[in-house]
Structure 1
Amino acid sequence: MTAADGTAVRVGVFGLLGSGNLGNDGSLEAVLGYLGQRHPEAAVDALCGGPETVTARFGIPATRLHWNRAEYRTASRVGSVAAKGLGKFVDVFRTAAWVRRHDVVIVPGMGVLEATLPLRPWGFPYSLFLLCASGRLLGTRVALVSVGAAEIGSRPTRALVRWSARLAAYRSYRDDRSRDAMRAMGVDTSRDKVYPDLAFSLPAPPSGTPSDSPGPVCVGVMDFHGGNDDRARAEEIHGRYLDGTIRFVRTLAEEGRPVRLLTGDACDASVVAAVLDAVDSPLVTAAEPASLADLMNETAAADTVVAVRYHNLICALKSGTPTLALSYAAKSDALMERMGLGAYCHPAREADAGRLLEQFRALEKDSAELRRTLAERNQVVTGQLDDQFDELTAALFPATDNAPTLRETP
């Protein structure tokens, strides 16, 4: 794809990529796959959280998202607080300069319009606002593609997220609840569409063949302390979640079931260590996935999956393995409903080992039927993502001799 002057179209990808979250990197991988297949001549680079990791893994140039290298460390001294403040000012010009070098910027999936985990307004919401405002001012098309959203209580964060969405040239959401949330926060979503999460476009591993006897169970874990509005109860929520998970895993091990612990972010290692120490069984082991492909291979080899992180759920569902969601946000419930497993959700904030075991046994009893359901639903979502990529091409890569006018957003 070339611009009117014959040069390659310059495409930027933006987000907390390369920072240890496998779901975010999986969304990037999906968009790079789309660009490589449909727009192979595009020149692609990234503005992201972990530029070295992104360049090493995906082979594209990458720039650090923040001028201040200590952006995500707690600032307690006067000097570090001042450095953060200066960084916010410098990032205005850094972001604008990066955006100006591109024809198109894509924000690939991720929950960029939500605060279902602890989030400060001057963190990523501020960065996203700088991106979208720069795009609008400089004439660069910014696309929020299959993103997650949720209503936000904090007024500063809500305002930044709302204006980011309004200033974007293209928006699509990964579920109806995300679109509804943006509408409730004052964004005109009448022309926005809903498509599955981008990770569903990634290749799926061959499905495993369940044995007649009970086989391995994958249990995804998370360093979960509640959401943005749960800060006062964070430790209580974490303790309840961890206790319920440990009791559940211990029971499976006592029944002779091999259990494989899965993570989705570097910060989850502490939970893995706590579960291994508390259960202390050779039947309980921990995987060390480096990508969503690794997670899919793990889940495809299991009889059943119990998972909490959103993209762990996607990997399990994509691989066709019956899955029970320890749900910490509406997006997990929406995903399970889309894939026909809406009955198999359990609240992560109130993890109860007894109830979790009841749901797990019901899931295993219906395993054969659920595998058929997942095979059918996966065919549907793959087709829907093909439609998404068709629409994205029409919106962001118009023919140079007949470029349509993009939707104006208020």
Structure 2
Amino acid sequence: MTAADRAPVRVGVFGLLGSGNLGNDGSLEALLGYLRAAHPEVVVDALCGGPEAVTARFGIRATRLHWYRGEYRTASRTGAIAAKGLGKLVDVVRTAAWVRRHDVVIVPGMGVLEATLPLRPWGFPYALFLLCASGRMLRVPVALVGVGAAAIGNRPTRALVRWSARLASYRSYRDAPSRDAMRAMGVDTARDEVHPDLAFALPTPRASAPFDPSAPPGPVCVGVMDFHGGNDDRARGEEIYRRYLDGTIRFVRTLVEEGRSVRLLTGDGCDAPVVAAIRDAVDSPLVTAAELSSLADLMNEMALADTVVAVRYHNLICALKTGTPVLALCYAAKSDALMAEMGLGAYCHPARAVDADRLLEQFRALEKHAVELRATVAERTLAAGRRLDQQFTSLTAALFPARDHAQTVRKES
């Protein structure tokens, strides 16, 4: 059989993609960049949260993740509850049928094995379990690539996540704490690898001008989040949010009183109310908000700033990629691990207990050491990008083992 007679490898990508989370979409962008460069012969489509957005932005076919469109809305009426329950059964068939059409399925990055934000077991964890179980039954490799993981207290969620990981054909993690968490949950991680987050493979914008430490203080980017704690914090979610918001408002107000301009950044559509609350409370023309649609937009904003203060994990990565010193409001171990890896371990602050005075103290120390920190961040970020080559090499060996990838044979249906 000649190469012309052979069909291309069919690759499916899976996740809460196209749903407004810039970090998730950035992970997909990085994966597609690898596939198009290393395996241009593959045909890619997606099973995802926002199929229209994924198709419009990335030019690939996409299917809605859940049959029931109201999956992530709280169901209180009998009809909605029944529809949601029916959807769980329909999704068993839909997911298996989608998996069957592929040679390989990839879950690109994202915190799919964690519950560091509020998460119901029968939402995404159940969908991920269906994917991995279908892959195992139909002998289609499912790869969890550069994913985040964390210890999970809720039993149903923990069970679904553990079995999803066990059923996957390939696993790699974006940090060592993620691998440790899966090992603690009973997953054999002996052959699992740790690589930098996929977003480190994205293009970095050119700086408009070199940093000048003698220039007057410049703008500060503040990345915000609709933060109510994690899955185990539901009872005190409003208290956590109030403390986070009040501390952030005090911090921004102090910067404005000192004549600093503040640019508010988001990472998900749900963060917009936090931006509005800060702008209303501070009420100054020095506080503006950016319109963002990608991690590239985030990086372009951060490249113009002297300093970044941010909560969301991929906000931190964007700051690091531009070489801008960043102070992290940490809500999970992944943020602390990232900051330590990048030489910024001293510039972490708990998002659950924002103390504006302490935050300002850390911020001033960050700016005082800006020159040396910029050099450290630039060096380590470049190294992270180079280490991602190992991730892609490993992925090729695991999922595309044929010597001539363009001649991989389509499986018999």
Q: Which residue is 2:283 aligned to?
A: 280
Q: Report if aligned partners of 1:307, 1:325 keep a CA contact under 8 Å in 2.
A: yes
**2:328 pairs with 322, 325, 329, which one?**
325
Distance between the aligned counterparts of 1:176 and 1:389, measured in 2? 18
Alignment of 1:129-148 (within 5 A): 129-148=129-148
Distance between the aligned counterparts of 2:75 and 2:211, measured in 1? 51
Q: Report if aligned partners of 1:106, 1:144 keep a CA contact under 8 Å in 2.
A: yes
Distance between the aligned counterparts of 1:161 and 1:4, measured in 2? 41
Deviations 1:205-252 (A, max 9, x none): 123533411000000000000000000000000000000000000000
Shift of residue 400 of structure 1? 6.3
Q: Report if aligned partners of 2:110, 2:147 keep a CA contact under 8 Å in 1.
A: yes
Shift of residue 5 of structure 1? 6.7
What is the TM-score normalised by the length of structure 2?
0.96
Q: Which residue is 1:220 aligned to?
A: 223
Shift of residue 378 of structure 1? 1.3
**1:303 pairs with 306, 321, 338, which one?**
306
SS state of the match for residue 11, structure 2? strand
Q: Which residue is 2:210 aligned to?
A: 209
Deviations 1:23-62 (A, max 9, x none): 0000000000000000011000000000000000000000
SS state of the match for residue 143, structure 1? strand
Q: Does 1:264 align with 2:248?
A: no
Alignment of 1:27-106 (within 5 A): 27-106=27-106
CA RMSD across the alignment: 1.3
User: Which runs of at least 4 in structure 1 moved beyond 4 Å after TM superposition?
Assistant: 2-5
Q: Report if aligned partners of 2:320, 2:378 keep a CA contact under 8 Å in 1.
A: no
The one-letter code of the counterpart of 2:57 is: R
Shift of residue 374 of structure 1? 0.8
The one-letter code of the counterpart of 1:161 is: V
Structure 2: any 5+ residue segments left out of the alignment?
406-413
Distance between the aligned counterparts of 1:269 and 1:372, measured in 2? 33
The one-letter code of the counterpart of 2:103 is: D
Distance between the aligned counterparts of 1:308 and 1:168, measured in 2? 30
Distance between the aligned counterparts of 1:121 and 1:379, measured in 2? 37
Q: Percent identity?
A: 80
Q: Does 1:339 align with 2:342?
A: yes
Distance between the aligned counterparts of 1:51 and 1:335, measured in 2? 30
**Pair 1:3–1:355, CA change in 2 (3 A):** farther
Shift of residue 375 of structure 1? 1.2
Count of aligned residue pairs for this structure pair: 401
SS state of the match for residue 26, structure 1? helix
Q: Which residue is 1:359 aligned to?
A: 362
Distance between the aligned counterparts of 1:322 and 1:400, measured in 2? 43
Q: Which residue is 1:406 aligned to?
A: none
Q: Which residue is 1:150 aligned to?
A: 150
**1:292 pairs with 276, 292, 295, which one?**
295
**Pair 1:401–1:365, CA change in 2 (3 A):** closer
Q: Report if aligned partners of 1:4, 1:400 keep a CA contact under 8 Å in 2.
A: no
What is the TM-score normalised by the length of structure 1?
0.96
Distance between the aligned counterparts of 2:49 and 2:3, measured in 1? 29
Distance between the aligned counterparts of 2:100 and 2:15, measured in 1? 17
Q: Which residue is 1:26 aligned to?
A: 26
SS state of the match for residue 324, structure 1? strand
Distance between the aligned counterparts of 1:19 and 1:330, measured in 2? 24
**Pair 1:353–1:41, CA change in 2 (3 A):** same
SS state of the match for residue 260, structure 2? coil
Alignment of 1:121-136 (within 5 A): 121-136=121-136
Distance between the aligned counterparts of 1:126 and 1:85, measured in 2? 12
Shift of residue 3 of structure 1? 9.1
Q: Which residue is 2:316 aligned to?
A: 313
SS state of the match for residue 106, structure 1? strand
Q: Which residue is 2:255 aligned to?
A: 252
Distance between the aligned counterparts of 1:377 and 1:111, measured in 2? 23
Distance between the aligned counterparts of 2:40 and 2:404, measured in 1? 20
The one-letter code of the counterpart of 2:36 is: G
Whose relative contact order is higher, 1 or 2, with alpha carbons under 8 Å and at least 6 apart?
Answer: 2
Distance between the aligned counterparts of 1:3 and 1:375, measured in 2? 44
The one-letter code of the counterpart of 1:7 is: A
The one-letter code of the counterpart of 1:352 is: D
Q: Report if aligned partners of 1:3, 1:9 keep a CA contact under 8 Å in 2.
A: no
Q: Which residue is 2:392 aligned to?
A: 389
Distance between the aligned counterparts of 1:278 and 1:158, measured in 2? 39
Q: Report if aligned partners of 1:3, 1:400 keep a CA contact under 8 Å in 2.
A: no
Distance between the aligned counterparts of 2:232 and 2:114, measured in 1? 12
The one-letter code of the counterpart of 2:216 is: S
**Pair 1:353–1:164, CA change in 2 (3 A):** same
The one-letter code of the counterpart of 2:20 is: G
SS state of the match for residue 118, structure 1? coil
Distance between the aligned counterparts of 1:308 and 1:382, measured in 2? 22
